[in-house]
């Protein structure tokens, strides 16, 4: 017998058609009908979530709302009510926290739970998952799908297998088989670009991937090679983390109408930067890199960034820097659809203990109250 680490028990909970389900719960007239939560069909918005009824017409998340309308003109388009979704999400997280401290929310409607150490339900992860699903239904009136397995990757695969209101267990014996049958595009961490590259190399499924020796994978995919090598064998040692350190803080807006006027664009960026800084301050962190993101009307997207030796603490003085970053773009010549600001190169709070005091700071409004 090999005495490896004890087998973990991971549950992946995924709310079914979350935003759409909340809207159908709160408005009986929407029930049983194709609905889309997202942008209006006559706008430039996209589908955030759609009901299962809408999915029958081929409507999918991230599709342009205008295309969703063409697929099914009867579709009801609803403006998202994020405050409501956030409340529901908080309620779900409270349920999780009754079972384990070790849960990792991925978004408002999705989370991993590590229940290895939970003794309730005789320690059966499947029974626990069922109980959590029942609690969610009782408290929110919504259904969730659960995947149970021995790592994050397989738990996520499992939650997708019996949707909606599903529950699926992938046992350690079944794990490698699931990984082998899976198309590589379905693997977590393999995006469109990597999928294409793998297809070019003749890798279409987990089994194809498994045939590649580790050095060759590392040669082609760099440090991700090890991860791909492992997941092809159903191995995923990523822990469930209840705290994820932020790498950047960003704010972006898609405008209802394209922006053309450079001064207006600059003003918008200053506003966005103020919002990003407020979020950063809430995390008690400081940033050194400022990135401007611009999506033009033709969806071409660019970013421009500047890294400063000192921490970015306020928008004061940044008008010139933003204007400078804009110089190297097609702003003014090309219509702009979306603007974003990201702050990165974040410094964690403990580094703030080294506070160099500043001679002029009294006359400088600081973002961080001392």
106, 140 contact by CB (below 8 A) = no
User: Does 355 participate in binding other proteins (rule CB under 8 A)?
Assistant: yes
Cα dist from 289 to 17, 338, 348, 364, 366, whole Å? 36, 20, 14, 20, 18
Identify any residues that bridge with 131 across adjacent strands, giving them in sequence order: none
Give the Cα separation of 183 and 163 in Å (integer).
19
DSSP letter string over 289-306? EEEEEEEETTS-EEEEEE
Nearer to other proteins, 191 or 365 (CB): 365
Shortest spacing between CB 308 and other proteins, in angstroms = 6
- Report CA torsion sign: 351, 354, 358, 362: positive
Q: Which of 316, 369, 304 shows the shortest CA–CA distance to 342?
A: 304
- Comparing CB distances to other proteins, the nearer of 243 and 360 is 360
Which one, of 177, 182, 238, 172, lies nearest residue 206 by Cα?
A: 182
362 binds other proteins (CB under 8 A): yes
3-state secondary structure (DSSP) of residue 219: helix
Task: Judge whether 319 counts as a catalytic residue.
Answer: no
CA atoms within 13 A on the CB side of 265: 29
Residue 324, interface with other proteins (CB under 8 A)? no
Q: Which of 23, 53, 110, 131 is an active site residue?
A: 110
Residues with Cβ within 8 Å of residue 139, at least 6 apart in sequence: 91, 95
53/351 Cα distance (integer angstroms) = 52
Q: Considering beta carbons, is residue 1 or 362 the nearer one to other proteins?
A: 362
The answer to whether 359 contacts other proteins (rule: CB under 8 A) is yes
Q: Does 266 bind other proteins (CB under 8 A)?
A: no
**Per-residue mark of binding to other proteins, 292-321 (x: CB under 8 A):** ----------------xxx-x---xxx-xx
The yes or no reply on residue 369 touching other proteins (CB under 8 A) is no
Query: Toward other proteins, which CB reaches closer, 282 or 359?
Result: 359
In angstroms, rounded to a whole number, what is the distance separating the alpha carbons of residues 95 and 91? 7
Closer by beta carbon to other proteins, 21 or else 312:
312
- What is the chain's Cα-based Rg? 24
Question: Which H or E run includes 132?
Answer: helix 125-140
Name the burial class of residue 345, with classes exposed (0-12), middle (13-18) and buried (19+) by CB atoms within 10 angstroms of its CB: middle
**Which of 10, 12, 13, 14 is CA-nearest to residue 151?**
10
Token code pair at residue 72: 């099914």
Measured from the CB atom, the residue of 299 and 360 that comes closer to other proteins is: 360
Q: Select the residue interacting with other proteins from 278, 361, 365, 366 (CB under 8 A).
A: 361
* Residue 363 binds other proteins (CB under 8 A): yes
Residue count at the site for other proteins (CB under 8 A)? 21
Interacting residues with other proteins (CB under 8 A): 308-310, 312, 316-318, 320-321, 353-364
Active-site positions read 110
């Amino acid at each position: 017998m090999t005495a490896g680490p004890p087998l973990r028990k991971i549950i992946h909970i995924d709310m079914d058609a979350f935003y759409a389900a909340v809207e159908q719960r709160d408005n009986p007239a929407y029930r049983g009908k194709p609905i889309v939560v997202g942008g209006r069909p006559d706008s430039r918005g996209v589908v955030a979530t759609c009901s299962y009824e809408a999915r029958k017409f081929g409507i999918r998340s991230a599709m342009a709302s205008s295309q969703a309308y063409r697929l099914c003109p009867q579709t009801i388009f609803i403006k998202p009510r994020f405050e409501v979704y956030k409340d529901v999400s908080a309620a779900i997280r409270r349920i999780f926290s009754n079972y384990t401290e070790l849960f990792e929310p991925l978004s408002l409607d999705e989370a991993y739970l590590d229940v290895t150490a939970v003794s309730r339900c005789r320690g059966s992860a499947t029974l626990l998952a069922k109980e959590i699903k029942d609690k969610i239904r009782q408290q929110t009136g919504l259904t969730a799908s659960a995947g149970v397995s021995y790592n994050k990757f397989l738990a996520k695969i499992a939650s997708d297998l019996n949707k909606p209101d599903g529950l699926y267990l992938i046992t350690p014996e079944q794990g490698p088989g699931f990984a082998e049958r899976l198309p590589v595009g379905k693997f977590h961490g393999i995006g469109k670009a990597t999928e294409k590259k793998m297809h070019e190399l003749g890798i279409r499924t987990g089994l194809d991937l498994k045939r590649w020796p580790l050095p060759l994978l590392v040669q082609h995919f760099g440090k991700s090679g090890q991860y791909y090598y492992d997941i092809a064998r159903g191995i995923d040692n990523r822990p469930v983390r209840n705290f994820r350190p932020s790498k950047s803080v960003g704010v972006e807006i898609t405008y209802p109408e394209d922006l053309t006027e450079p001064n207006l664009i600059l003003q918008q960026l200053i506003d966005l930067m103020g919002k990003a800084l407020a979020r950063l301050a809430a995390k008690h962190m400081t940033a050194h890199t400022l990135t401007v993101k611009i999506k033009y009307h033709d969806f071409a997207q660019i970013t421009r960034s500047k890294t400063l030796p000192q921490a970015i603490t306020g928008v004061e003085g940044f008008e010139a820097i933003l204007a400078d970053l804009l110089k190297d773009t097609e702003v003014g010549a090309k219509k702009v659809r979306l603007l974003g600001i990201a702050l990165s190169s974040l410094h964690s709070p403990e580094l703030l203990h080294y506070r160099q005091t500043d001679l002029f700071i009294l006359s400088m409004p600081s973002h961080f109250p001392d």
